[in-house]
A = this chain, B = another copy of it.
């Protein structure tokens, strides 16, 4: 279960740099085991060393790779690609490219992380222009993977199908390996004729050919199906996915603010809150962003996990957990195999008649 694995970390990335990254390693080891997991920390040696001492981490667990160079949080992707060579971000990704590390985690500049990852690792499918970011969304039934949540502003049918393949492999590797993950495409209704051309075509192809791709495709789902956990993987373009994710974050914060206001509005409400505190705390944990932090960039020939720039040690530790689980899984080979099968499946002639196709896909 716990084969040795090496994770590459951009120690300078994020709003806080080494204090959060190194404390994130400690938090990961404390809460998620960490047996057989070692780390390469790229960045300022003195700063990293100081944090390692503070966190009680030895050179056996954390190996420092010094560099003075850092990609700024507001550098444009093109600029970061030109000037970024030798930076902590660049070197952290290069360790994956060289086959030294199984995965890289960075809380740094998202645009730069995507651009340099794409440059060094290359995309794993011809249809993909940019990596897709996947979010792990807490639901009534567990965790649903939603992708793309931000990278690909417009996505054609083939890209949506690639998202389905990558999302299913991700969900299987990280969230629930038991059953093949169920998949839905996000739309404004569940009827076949709803939505724009791209989602309708992707729906038609997955209905007709999903079985040949080993995908458990269930059809269209709507916005409220995400939090219901109707399916394990929700596929959408990066524009819609990003807006859905941020809208959800806004609503969660809005309700939290209302709840705080309500539970401090009177003496009896305050007393009630005090009594209910342990239960409310457990509830908050389920929607705490840090328990779901860590969005893999899928579609690259290597595992890259983006941590939120403002994540705390607990959140960073969770991003490490996702990187370790993906790094130890057969995610990459599974995706590669599915992509090669996709080519073959797409080249087959379409099933003879629509009704037959619909019947067999049920």
Contacts and interface: CB of A to CB of B under 8 A. Distances in A.
Given A262-B280, A278-B269, A242 B287 contact: no
A186 interface: yes
Contact of A243 (B244, B263, B280): B244
B222 A246 contact: yes
A196 B239 contact: yes
Interface of A: 138-140, 150, 153-154, 186-188, 194-196, 222-228, 236, 238-240, 242-255, 257-259, 261-263, 265-266, 268-269, 271-280, 282-283, 286-287
Contacts of A196: 153-154, 239
B250 A247 contact: no
A276 B263 contact: yes
Q: Which of A239, A250, A252, A275: most chain B Cβ within 10 A?
A: A250
Given A222-B243, A223-B244, A258 B278 contact: no
A287 B253 CA distance: 13
Contacts of A140: 254, 257
- Name the 3 nearest CB pairs between A and B, nearest first: A223-B246, A272-B275, A272-B276
Contact of A223 (B153, B194, B247, B269): B247
Interface residues of chain A: helix, strand, loop or mixed (majority) = helix
Contacts of A271: 272, 275
B251 A279 contact: no
Nearest to A276: B272
A223 B269 CA distance: 31
A241 to B, nearest CB: 9
Contact of A244 (B139, B244, B254, B265): B244
A277 B251 CA distance: 22
B226 A250 contact: yes
A292 to B, nearest CB: 13
Given A240-B240, A280-B262, A251 B273 contact: no
13 contacts: A150-B188, A153-B188, A188-B243, A223-B248, A228-B254, A236-B243, A251-B252, A258-B286, A258-B287, A262-B276, A263-B280, A265-B279, A268-B278
A328 B143 CA distance: 48
Contacts of A254: 138-140, 227-228
Q: Which of A238, A262, A276: most chain B Cβ within 10 A?
A: A276
A250 B228 contact: yes
A129 to B, nearest CB: 14
A296 B249 CA distance: 26
A219 to B, nearest CB: 16
Given A262-B282, A262-B283, 5 more contacts: A223-B249, A262-B280, A268-B276, A269-B276, A272-B274
Nearest to A283: B262
Contact of A188 (B238, B262, B265, B278): B238
A287 B255 contact: yes
Contacts of A226: 247, 250
Contact of A224 (B153, B154, B253, B275): B253
Contacts of A269: 275-276, 278-280
Nearest to A236: B243
Contact of A253 (B227, B236, B274): B227
A280 B272 CA distance: 10
